[in-house]
Structure formats: structure tokens, C-alpha cells
Structure 1
Amino acid sequence: MQLIGCLSLAVVLVQAAADPPRKTDPLPTTAHSTSITWASPDTLPAALQALLNDTVASPSHRLVRWHDLRATRAFYARRAYAPAWPAGPDPHAPGQTALGLLLQAEDYGLQAANYHAPALRALAALLAQPDTNSARRLGRQARFEVLLTDGLVRFAQHLHQGQLRECTPSPLEKPNSLFDAGAWLTQALAAPDFSLALLRCQPQQREYQLLQQALARWLHQPATTKSQAWQRRAQQMAVTLERWRWHAIPMPDSDYVLVNLPAYALEVVRRGQAVQTQRLIIGKPDSPTPTLSSQLKAFTLTPEWRVPYSIASRELLPKLRDNPGFAAKNNYVIYNAKGEPIEARSVDWWDVRPERFPYTIKQKPGKGNALGTAIFRFTNPYEIFLHATSRPHDFALAYRALGHGCIRLEHPRRLATFLLGADSTQAALPPEGVAEAAPSPRRYALRRQVPLHVRYATCAVVAGQLHFYPDVYQQDELLRQQLFGSALVAKAPAPRPATLLLHQLAGGGQTVNFNQQGVHPSLPKP
């Protein structure tokens, strides 16, 4: 597995179960390297200090390559090189507890081998046995200590920021308070429950936590249920967890609006619970809806639509050429370069070229308006927004990647009512019939801004069920290869239109229910 990162990441080049060889080829010495004879330390703190300060493969000890030597050194320097992980036969010893976390890295969408887990397990087995050679035992204890710390530092970093973006701050971090995995490990070690404290570095929002728990249950099934399809689904969950670490939701206990593009779904989340869900129509694969975070500050009922240049020149121009009366019939008003309204029939549209379209087109509020009855604008560099639609029958379709990039809502008034506040009612909005009878834009400024998060998650736990969604924008496979390598399970075929109608939530997904023991009764078929 190859990971992209800014640190010097490497695998362990140590056979922990073996004794040190008599002769080892040394690495090139740097200006700051010191060669220390491995047999010289006679206490574990001294052995730890010697091993951490020795960057040369001296003839008397194994070569160790670090994931983050600087953080590991700092961890022990803060402790005056006192050991942190006593190893032994006691399964509740701190070292065994910490090693158990690394051995279960797959439960978090990670791979145990990336955190020295195989070497650590071998060392732990050796340390559980009696050994009359005190120097050899001391060397093993020192290697167990530093490898475990180094693995835990990297484990915490990956849990917090993801494996492929180690240099990119998480959305959970403040500008002047970047995540320090070594310091976090120190704090976790001092906590009453080490594992719980360490794992708090993960995103805490419900979407991540529920999916991580579902992945752990998925992996801990009887071996007879595991198949190629099972493995592919496990990796799909791991890929989604990686994305959530990149785009975690800050302050998950507050209210927010979440759009999941592959699910074609919007959820309103209040204090960690989904209180509203509705279906969506998103951008087509050739004009995909981007992921982003912003704030909902206002919305407008019965809005006017200013037709984007690309749509006016590429889609409306051919219709005007065929029939200039198309404009009046659909409530479009055409403006010349001076901003003056003109009659569509006064223009020879066959002389107008798409690449030089000198007109502005707006659509009046009311019936047939492409924005429908409401628009929810928010700051973003893509000029997209949430809005209603004049084609409500599209929400019955299974495949709903049909738009130009904006997000169409099935129930815009429900979202509007939520945004107006907890004490608002439908009476705060004009009745739909009244608004349609006399359509004119009416803007509502919100007293409180509500975070909006648009995300891409091809699996999610919704109402206690694990759902798998089609990779509508084909974004999973490249990320899967980066995390797990290309030589793996065959890619699942795209669902045929005839089968799309059978999928869950009219979104092409598959659903898995877990029983009370946390085990699903049957695997979904690919």
C-alpha cells in the first residue's frame, strides 16, 4: 500500500521475533547521527533513549524505520524516557490494550500492517515468555515500546485526518491549534479509559460514528459469510470513512443540513438526530454537484430565475430558433446588452452564435419556473444553490442525477419552516395557493445561520439500516486503489435501468439490517 503524506512514512524493517544479528549493513551516517552500542544501556529508560537517538544501523541492533520519529522522540522526552507500555501476559496491561487497538485497525477502515502491528504482536509473544538473557529482553522491551508508540501516533493521525491527507488540517482543527498526534497520545494515556480517549480524535458526528460501528460489525462475521462481495463492501465503507475524515463536520451537536449526493437525499440534523429527510435531484455526471460546506442565511419564495449563460446559449437558443414563441409561452423575458426587454420574435436567432450570446434571459416567478416555489442561496464558488422544481414527478425516479449542478428539493417548504426557527409554523409562510395565485419574490432573512454540508458518501447508516448507494460520479475506485492497491476484487457492474427501480430509497442502494447482536442476517448481493 502506498500512502501520500508529508512525513517520512515507511514500513518496519525489523523481524521482531529474532535475536539481533551479528552483522548489519549500516545506513549512511548524517551529520546528526550517533552510533550507540546497543548493549550499553542497562535500564529500560536508557535503552529507549539510545534506540530513539540512534539513527544508524549499528552492528549490535536491528534497523528500525520510523513513521514519525520526531513525534515518538517528543513523546518519550516528555516522560523523561519512562516506559509507557509494560508488556506481559496480562491482557489488561497498557501495552496489550494499545496493541489491541492497532490489531483491530480494520474496524476503522485502516490496515494493521501500517502501524507495526505484526512485529508488535511477535514481540508481545516473546515478552510473555521467560527469558534469562536480560540484555536480549531489555532490547525487546525497548523495541516494543518505541514501535508501539510510533504506530499509535500514526494511527491517531490517520483517524483524525485520514491516510492520504496527513498534511491537510482537518475541519475539526482551529487555525492556531493543529492536531498533535503525539500530544494526543500522551493525554489519552493519562485518561481513565485509554482506548476511549484515543479514539476521540476521530470525527464525532453521527454519520461517521454509525458507519464506523457498522464496519466493525461487518468485519466481525463468521468466516463462512465472507466473500468477494463482502470484501468489496468492507472497502467501500473504509473509503467512505476516509472521506469523512477529510470533510468532518465541526460541532456535530449543533443543527445542520446534510446533503449526501449518492443517496440523492437531504437530512436536517438536530442535536445528533435526523428530524427531516427528503429526496433530491443532483447534477449529472458531466455537470456534477460539488461537495462543499457553507451557511444557509436566507431563502426566497416564488423566485425569479436568471438563466445562466451556459444554459441560455446551449439549451434555450436551439428552442428559440425553432420557435421564438417559446419565450413567451414559458414566461421568459429577454434583455439586450443595454438591459432593455425585447420581443423574442424581433431577433433572428439563427444569426446568434452560442459562443457570442449577447442576451440575458430571466424567467418570471410562478407556474413553470425552473426554480419552482423556492430557492435557498448560500455562498460558494460554484454558483449553485438549493431550489424547488417544476417537475416534481422526477423524484419518483431511481436515478436522479439529472441537473446542471444545483440541488432540487422535493419538499422546499419543510426546509423553509425548519430554517425559520423552532417556534415557526407553516403559518409563518404564505399558503402555497396564495403564493401561486400572485407570484412575486419574497425574501426571508434567517435569524440564525444554519450550516450546510454537501458530501459524497456511497454508504451510510440511516434509521438503523446500512445502505449502499451507486457511485454516481465514479469517485470511489481511484480512492479504493490508493488505500488498498489495484489488485483486488473486480469492480461491481453498474446497475441496469431495469434493476434500478428495485433499489432502496429510490436511489439505487442496497440495505442491510443488523439484528440485536449486531450481525446482519444475510449479505447483499453485488
Structure 2
Amino acid sequence: MRLLFYLLLAWGLAATSTNSTQARALLLANEQAQNTLTVVPPAALSNIQRLLLDTVASAGLRSLQWYNQRATRAFYTQRHYAPAWSAGQQLNEAGEVALALLRKAEDYGLQADNYHMPALQALTKALAQPADSARARAQSARLDVLLTDGLLRFVLHLRRGQLRELTPSPLEEADSAFVPAAWVANALAGPDFAAELLRCQPQQREYQELQQALVRWRKRPTKPQDSVRIRRAQQLALTLERWRWQAIPDTNYVLVNLPAYALEVVERDSVLQTHRLVIGKPESPTPTLSSRLKVFTLTPEWRVPYSIATEEILPKLRDNPRYAARHNYSIYNAKGELIDPKKVDWWDVRKKKFNYTIRQNPGPGNALGSVIFRFRNPYEVFLHATYDTRDFKRPYRALGHGCMRMENPMSLVSYLMRDDSVQTKLPTEAELAAAPVPRRITLERAMPLHVRYATCAVVAGQLRFYADVYNKDEELRQQLFGSLKAF
């Protein structure tokens, strides 16, 4: 066993000169700790080592409730078990900052009790009282280790969210998973520990502005019985949770916020354009997704989806076959041949055996309007214009089948084509209506598109709350808080 201890010591010294990344070093340290440390003689262990191994019973060193003992062990193995947050029997400067961050976890939409805060406060108070040196050293070790364990969970939740801590954030590349122990170690070595640590959060404007809005909201005086104010705070917190799940790694992008019925063009933290939207109805909701805008078609033809053809158009054809001509529809049979709808007995056509294809010709009245933006997604939803703009004036605009209808689409077209070397003078919507010939355009550079669900946001410096149009908030609220009093 003594030989193994010296081998471990030699390995630890060698680890300081390795050229591998911090994350890989910590992972290797953890594996080495798992394989060898459990046989080191008890007499050779420090208080921190005993706590990490959790195999030695001694006065004042009882079993701890770990969030991630393996990651905490890796953190200290890399440090050769030197305390990180304490000097003697008191917290050092970094320790005070770390404890303050956990104490203010609610400012980030989290809950301090999930990061050992009751135990940390009790230990801090106990260390301020006179005690024999052995007991004080044991308590100091417990404080240091618990603070690390809580901090590692804290940064993981800031990065990925509380409910999806095992799912990589969109900010993480496939070959560079987030390693909390490495992140905390690097932050500790930096010039500004708190700033370095908090960079694990999404850096996009929507998240950062909302997090600061939550801080300001929490500073307002709130009576214990003020359930509305508490629910709003929870709404801010659960929206931050969603942003962690679906963080945006891009600098320039098009953002759709479904509850706001709005599309924004964002460039380096500035909103250049805002467009009103009509989104899917609750029974056919528009999904959240990430894709890229690369192709669009001016004055497109609309190929009517099977569900709309059978559920909405077929009953109208039964009532009057001239409905097709009045709405500029062309109908094709199973062989792809254009047919005269007046020669079909539509009452003999069944929804489950609808062997026809319906297309709406380009031009005024076309459901897709003057332009459609097609993008890769598994839901077959798109972003398009419309010639009927009356719905944009409604306050409630969850009226569609799942696709997104936008107001003033040609402004977005102009922005997307701003850097194209082959850009030509774009026609106006009136010109497109007068000469409705489909024209497909492929951009030289794709634009990231992100569709998200945020029931609160900071718009032009003002905090706004939106109706939970798809009723998604309550279930998430229960998962995170359980009750109003939990936050």
C-alpha cells in the first residue's frame, strides 16, 4: 500500500507538467483516483482526501451528501488535495466570492438550497466559534469540499439547465463537452473569478438581458402573499431555463419568439428588424427549432398539404366545385394530370382515399404570399408571407396550421441579400403581384434561424410578459419549483 501511495504522488507531480488540456487532465485524474486512492493507508490521508474517499470513519468526518463526488474528487486530485476556498480555518477571497454566488443563485433562476447552502452556512457559522484544532480542521475541510461540490453543480446548471444537466448545450461542440471541474479550475486561476465562472452561461442578448431583469425584479419589495409577483419571478426563471436548453451560439441570426408573435433580425446584440407573425394554433403548434435560411422563392406556388386538402378544401369542393377556380387552385389526379374539378363527384371522394394533389397558383390570394423561406427541419414548417394582412392587427395570432406568416417579408429578403455579389434590384410586393412568376434564389451565405418559446423578454429595454399560448409554462414551473413559495 505504501508503494501505491508513492506511485500516486509521482503521478500527481507528473500531471503538473502534462501538455494535455485541463479537461482531459481532470478526467484522467478522476480515473486514477478511482483506481488507486481507495487503497492509500488512512494515516497518509488529509481531511479533504478522507472526505472525498468517504471510506474512513473518524470524529467529525461523517458521510457527505454528494451531488457529484467523482467530479469533486477530480477537481482536488488535480490540485493534489490542496484546499481551494480556505486559508487556515477561514474562507479565502475566492471562497467568499464562491459562497456569495451560491447564496444569490435565485438571481440566475436557480435555488440556493440545491447547492448545499444550508450546510455551507452552518459550517461557516461553526468555524467562527472557538473549537479545538482537529475539529476546526475537519470542519474547514468539509466546508471546502461542499463548496466545490455545490459550485460544480451550479456551473453545470448555468450551462445546461437544471432539468437537462446531462444533455450538452448548443454552446458545446461535439468534441468538447463541458467539464465543470475544469471550468471552475480555470476560473479560479483567472484574474476575475466570478466573471470567468459566469461565462459558462449563454452570452446571447436574450438570456443576458432577461437574467439582469430577474435581478431587478427580485430587488422590488414583495409581500409574502403577493402570488402574482412570485409567479412572475418564476416565469423569468423558467424562461432562463429554456434558454439554457436552447442557447444560441451565433452572433448574427434571425430569432422567432412564438409567444411574442414576433421575428427579430439580430446583429451583434442589436435588433435591426422586427416583424409581426401569425403562428400555429394550439392544436397545430409551431415547433421550436434551429436551422439556416439559405433559399427562398419569390411568388411561390403553394402545394397544399394533404391534411389541409382533405380537412378544409374537400368539404368546400363538395359544396361547390367552382371553389377551386375562385381561389386559383389547380387539381391533379394520381397520374399527375390536370383535371377539371367540375367533372368530379367530390361526394364519392373519401378523405382516406384522396388521390388528388392540389396546388395554388402564384399571385394575389396565394396562401404563401409574395415569398416563402424554406429551411431544413423535420416538421415541414416554413416561414412565408401572405396577401391577407388583416390577422397581423389581432392581439392573439396563434391562428395557423404550424407554419409562420410574417408581415413585411421583403425587408427580410433585402437584409439577407445585402452581401450577395449577384444582388439585383428586388421587385416590390406590388410588382410581384402583377407578374407572379416563381423565382428561386439561393443566398451566398446562410443565415442562422432560431425559433424559441419565451413567455417573457426584454424588448427595447422594457421587461415584457406574454401569454403562455401553448400552455407550456405550468408543467415546467411544477418541475422546477413545485409551488409558489419555492422561489
TM-score by length of 1: 0.82
Offset of residue 348 of structure 1: 0.3
Query: 1:413 & 1:260 partners in 2: Cα distance?
Result: 20
Q: Secondary structure at 2:477's aligned position in 1?
A: helix
Report the Cα offset of residue 255 of structure 1. Answer: 1.2
C-alpha distance in structure 1 between counterparts of 2:468 and 2:423, whole Å: 37
Deviation at 1:58, TM superposition (A): 5.6
Match of 2:252 in 1: 255
**Measured at CA, do residues 353 and 108 of structure 1 come closer, stay the same or move farther in structure 2, by a change above 3 Å?**
same
The aligned counterpart of 2:469 is: 472
Deviations 1:68-114 (A, max 9, x none): 10110010010111111016898872211100000000000000000
Instruction: Report what 2:484 is aligned to.
Output: 488
Q: Distance in 1 between matches of 2:149 and 2:160?
A: 17
- Counterpart of 1:106 in structure 2 is 106
Is the partner of 1:472 in helix, strand or coil? coil
What letter corresponds to residue 66 of structure 1 in structure 2? W
CA gap 1:31/1:303 in 2 versus in 1, 3 angstroms: closer
Counterpart position of 1:352 = 349
1:445 aligns with 2:458: no
Q: In 1, distance between residues paired with 2:225 and 2:193?
A: 32
SS in 1 for 2:86: coil
Q: For the residues of structure 2 that align with 1:90 and 1:146, how far apart are their CA atoms? A: 13
Partner of 1:391: 388
Higher helix share: 2
Residue 16 of structure 1 is matched in structure 2 by none
Specify the alignment match of 1:243 in structure 2. 242
Residue number in structure 1 paired with 2:123:
123
- Does the 8 Å contact 1:87/1:128 carry over to 2? no
What pairs with 1:366-381 in structure 2 (closer than 5 Å)?
366-381=363-378
Structure 2 match to 1:462: 459
Asked if 1:77 corresponds to 2:73, the answer is no
Query: 3-state DSSP class of the match of 2:480?
Result: helix
How far residue 301 of structure 1 moved from its aligned partner, in angstroms, is 1.0
Say if 2:210 is the partner of 1:211: yes
Tell me the secondary structure at the aligned position of residue 375 of structure 2. coil
Return the offset for 1:394. 0.4
Cα deviation digits, residues 316-364 of structure 1 (max 9, x gap):
0000000100000110000000000000101000000111110000000
The separation in 2 between residues aligned to 1:55 and 1:235, in whole angstroms, is: 40
> Counterpart of 2:306 in structure 1: which amino acid?
Y
Q: Secondary structure at the match of 2:484?
A: coil
2 CA distance for matches of 1:479 and 1:419?
Answer: 36
Give how far 1:125 is off. Answer: 2.2
Q: Aligned pair in 2 of structure 1 residues 235, 350: CA closer, same or farther (>3 Å)?
A: same
- Superposed CA deviations along residues 474-506 of structure 1, whole A, max 9, x for unmatched, are 011111111111x4379xxxxxxxxxxxxxxxx
For 1:218-233, what aligned pairs fall within 5 Å after superposition?
Answer: 218-224=217-223, 227-233=226-232
1:138 aligns with 2:134: no
Residue 183 of structure 2 aligns to a residue in which SS? helix
Please name the residue that 1:334 is paired with: 331
In the alignment, is the contact (CA less than 8 A) between 1:300 and 1:376 conserved in 2?
yes
Q: Alignment partner of 1:428: what SS? A: coil
Aligned length: 453
1:187 and 2:153 matched: no
Q: 1: CA distance between counterparts of 2:425 and 2:464? A: 36
2:230 and 2:484 in contact (8 A); partners too: no
Counterparts of 1:87 and 1:322 in 2: how far apart (Å)? 85
User: 1:391 Cα shift?
Assistant: 1.7
Q: CA deviation at 1:144?
A: 0.3
Stretches of structure 1 that go unaligned for 5 or more consecutive residues are 1-29, 491-526
* CA displacement at 1:221 relative to structure 2: 2.1
Deviation (angstroms), 1:433: 2.5
Flag the 1:220–1:288 CA change in 2: closer, same or farther, 3 A: same
Q: Once the 2 structures are TM-superposed, how far is the Cα of residue 432 of structure 1 from its aligned partner? A: 2.5
The alignment partner of 2:241 has SS state of helix
After TM superposition, the structure 1 stretch with the greater mean CA deviation from structure 2, 312-321 or 423-432, is 423-432
The match for 1:282 is: 279
What percentage of residue pairs aligned between the two structures are identical? 63
Cα contact 1:169–1:178 (8 A) shared by 2: yes
Q: Quote the Cα distance in structure 1 between the aligned partners of 2:35 and 2:392.
A: 67
Which amino acid in the other structure matches residue 158 of structure 1?
Answer: H
Which residue does 2:24 correspond to in 1? none
Aligned partner of 1:142: which letter? A
Deviation at 1:62, TM superposition (A): 2.1
Q: How far apart, CA to CA, are the structure 1 residues paired with 2:163 and 2:200?
A: 17
Equivalent-residue separation in structure 2 for 1:87 and 1:60 (angstroms): 20
Distance 1:216-1:168 versus aligned 2 partners, 3 A rule:
same
Q: Deviations over 1:45-69 (max 9, x none)?
A: 8111111112466665222111010
SS in 2 for 1:355: helix
Provide the C-alpha distance between the structure 1 equivalents of 2:353 and 2:75, rounded to a whole number of angstroms.
63
1:151 aligns with 2:144: no
Q: Aligned with 2:191: secondary structure?
A: coil
Cα gap change, 1:56 to 1:370, in 2 (>3 Å): farther
SS of corresponding position for 1:198: helix
CA distance in 1, matches of 2:125, 2:306: 68
CA distance in 2, matches of 1:55, 1:329: 82
**Contact 2:89-2:140 within 8 A present in 1 as well:** no
Task: Give me the whole-angstrom Cα distance separating, in 2, the residues matched to 1:178 and 1:323.
Answer: 60
Report the CA distance shift for 1:138/1:89 in structure 2 as closer, same or farther (over 3 A).
closer
Distance 1:47 1:56 in 2: 10
Q: Which amino acid aligns with 2:123?
A: L
**CA distance in structure 2 between the partners assigned to 1:174 and 1:111 by the alignment:** 28
C-alpha change, 1:57 and 1:166, in structure 2 (3 Å) is farther
Q: Secondary structure at the match of 1:210?
A: helix
Distance in 2 between the 1:48 and 1:482 partners? 34
| Distance in 1 between residues matched to 2:320 and 2:185, nearest whole Å | 73
Q: Any residues of structure 2 matched to 1:274-313 within 5 Å, and which?
A: 274-313=271-310
CA RMSD between the two structures:
2.5
Q: Displacement, 1:273? A: 0.8
Q: What's the TM-score, normalizing by structure 2?
A: 0.88
Report the counterpart of residue 63 of structure 2 in structure 1.
63
